[in-house]
Amino acid sequence: QHKFWETQPVGQFKDFGNSSLPEGPIEQPTPLSEVKQEPYNLPSLYEWTTCDMGSDEVCHEVYVLLTNNYVEDDDNMFRFNYSKEFLQWALRSPGYFSSWHVGVRVKASKKLVAFISGIPVNMRVRDQVVKMAEVNFLCVHKKLRSKRLAPVMIKEVTRRIHLENIWQAAYTAGVLLPTPLTTSQYWHRTLNPKKLIDVGFSKLGDRMTMSRAIKLYKLPTSTSTPGLRKMELRDVPAVAELLKNYLSRFIVAPELNNEEIEHWLLPRENVIDSYLVESQVTHEITEFFSFYTLPSSILHNQEHSTLKAAYNFYYASTNTPLHQLMNDALIIAKQKDFDVFNALDVMDNATFLKDLKFGQGDGQLYYYLYNYRLNPALKPSELGLVLL
Ligand code: NHW
Ligand code: EN5
């Protein structure tokens, strides 16, 4: 059934729900000298390459591969279109290893035809902090699918991660594999109903006309929370503290130091937006929220070629109701011309999704850990992790 995943240190379907298996690492680390020193073998026409994402040329090659071959929805109407600036942000995070940015080229032409990446993260699981990799952007060119290239790429990135003495990983996928830490749902808040309907992202329901839809999704033109402003460099320590306290409520969540907060949350145009609330009286930072920019290519439409989507990222609230903050996030995203605001039902998101007129999407996102057993599986609301 899963010829590759059956061989890997992940929870297996046959053990699902067996709570007598101990929590923690599934297999123990080996001495580094026993980690395979040479890359895995590729079919003879292909070769490994380490992608230097600091090079505009290499970054462009990764961008083109993903633009044409990365994740699509179930009906192949939309394909993620991560920007180059986004990929550099996502992959060159504090402590990153270039060796974890793994490509495959055709030997003869040097064309980049596959990619997989990891970045390091300190992940807290209950009260243990484990150094892990976050694995993302696994992609095999459409013409090379179903040739069992993906397992070789996963083994190769695993080997390179092991060489840095890291033995666990976190990853997400839209497909069901052995076995999810949690299963989450995508939700979508319409900002531009006309365009979403025109491109087939959403449909007018039975008793819904275009003008009723436009009215339903209308938002105020300005935000409602006093003291709301963009995050700045000087806010890093306060935001770090605020997020640390907020994420402590979840069973699995990253631990982000000041350097990581600066990297992941300081606003970058067309990549990441972060806003916070500073008390007019005490100048304390009491709330913040962020969203990232991830457009999708629209695959078969004459009128429109990209869907501008904002994705809910990390946030923390102490004094202001979460639905009020998120309503302000929607207002800002609308002002910035996003067509849709997306969120998962992780963290406390389920408390505002329905009230703020998000609708359930047709996509699921499964979360996984590699070489770490946790049982039973979590509810999405017990998870404090958002991957890009
Ligand atoms: S999820 C997005 C993945 N990318 C896409 O969906 C892009 C479009 N699709 C493709 O490019 C975010 C290909 O279809 C891919 C598979 C490359 C997906 N995760 O080569 P074969 C991530 O990037 C298994 C894991 O013939 P293919 C997270 C599949 O179950 N495994 O297929 C990445 C089967 O194994 P099985 C996946 O279609 C996390 C085998 O691959 C998978 O030509 C990676 C078939 O291989 C997926 N998304 O290429 C794991 N999709 O056992 C990281 C398929 O069932 C683990 N498969 O026979 C941690 C590593 C680090 C550890 C450190 C200690
Ligand atoms: C790794 N970081 O399926 C990520 N998206 O719902 C990799 N659906 O956009 C894994 N099919 O429901 C990613 N519109 C897995 C997700 C892959 C992409 C994906 C889904 C998520 C999506 C849209 C479009 C569907 C088009 C037909 C969708 C309905 C919105 C509607 C708005 C109004 C109220 C009801 C819902």
Question: What number does CATH give the domain 183-382?
Answer: 3.40.630.170
CA 306 from centroid of its chain's CA atoms: 19
CATH topology of domain 5-172: Aminopeptidase (3.40.630)
Cβ-contact 179, 11 below 8 angstroms = yes
Nearest CA owner, ligand 2 atom 21? 363
208 lines ligand 2 (CB under 6 A): no
Nearest CA owner, ligand 2 atom 18? 73
| Ligand at shortest distance from the CA of 307 | 2
Site to probe by mutation for ligand 1, drawn from 138, 159, 366 as the one with most ligand atoms within 8 Å of Cβ, is: 138
Q: Catalytic pick from 149, 307, 344, 388?
A: 388
Nearest atom of ligand 2 to the alpha carbon of 189? 32
> How far apart (Å, rounded) are the C-alpha atoms in residues 153 and 4?
12
Nearest atom of ligand 2 to the alpha carbon of 388? 2
Cβ-contact 177, 366 below 8 angstroms = yes
> How far apart (Å, rounded) are the C-alpha atoms in residues 356 and 133?
34
In Å, how far are 69, 77, 105, 281, 309 from 51, measured between CA atoms? 17, 29, 11, 49, 27
361 lines ligand 2 (CB under 6 A): yes
Q: Where are the domains of the chain?
A: 5-172, 183-382
195 lines ligand 2 (CB under 6 A): no
* 150 C-alpha to ligand 1 centroid (Å): 5
Active site residue 388: yes
* 174 C-alpha to ligand 1 centroid (Å): 10
Asked if ipTM goes beyond 0.95, one says: yes
* 185 C-alpha to ligand 2 centroid (Å): 9
pLDDT of residue 91: 98
Site to probe by mutation for ligand 2, drawn from 188, 197, 312, 365 as the one with most ligand atoms within 8 Å of Cβ, is: 188
Nearest atom of ligand 2 to the alpha carbon of 173? 10
Q: What single string gives the DSSP state of each residue in 314-370?
A: EEEESSS-HHHHHHHHHHHHHHTT-SEEEEES-TTGGGTTTTTTEEEEEEEEEEEEE
Nearest CA owner, ligand 2 atom 2? 388
CA angle at residue 106 from 145 to 61, to 5 degrees? Answer: 85
* 370 C-alpha to ligand 1 centroid (Å): 13
Nearest CA owner, ligand 2 atom 11? 75
pLDDT of residue 122: 98
* 137 C-alpha to ligand 1 centroid (Å): 10
In a 13 Å sphere around the CA of 36, the CA atoms on its Cβ side amount to: 11
Could you report the average pLDDT of every consecutive run of 10 residues in the chain (388 residues)?
Answer: 97 90 96 98 98 98 98 98 98 98 98 99 98 99 98 98 98 98 98 97 94 97 97 98 98 98 98 97 96 98 97 97 98 98 98 98 98 96 98
| Ligand at shortest distance from the CA of 69 | 1
| Ligand at shortest distance from the CA of 147 | 1
Nearest CA owner, ligand 2 atom 17? 73
Asked if the domains 5-172 and 183-382 are classified in one and the same CATH topology, the answer is: yes
- Phi and psi at 258, nearest 5°, equal -60, -40
Residues with CB under 6 A from ligand 1: 2-5, 69-71, 133, 135-140, 145-151, 154, 157-158, 161, 166-169, 171-173, 175, 177, 370-371
* 24 C-alpha to ligand 1 centroid (Å): 24
Of 277, 341, 288, 340, residue with least CA distance to 314: 288
Tokens of residue 346, six digits: 């992780």
pLDDT of residue 17: 84
Nearest atom of ligand 2 to the alpha carbon of 74? 11
pLDDT of residue 18: 87
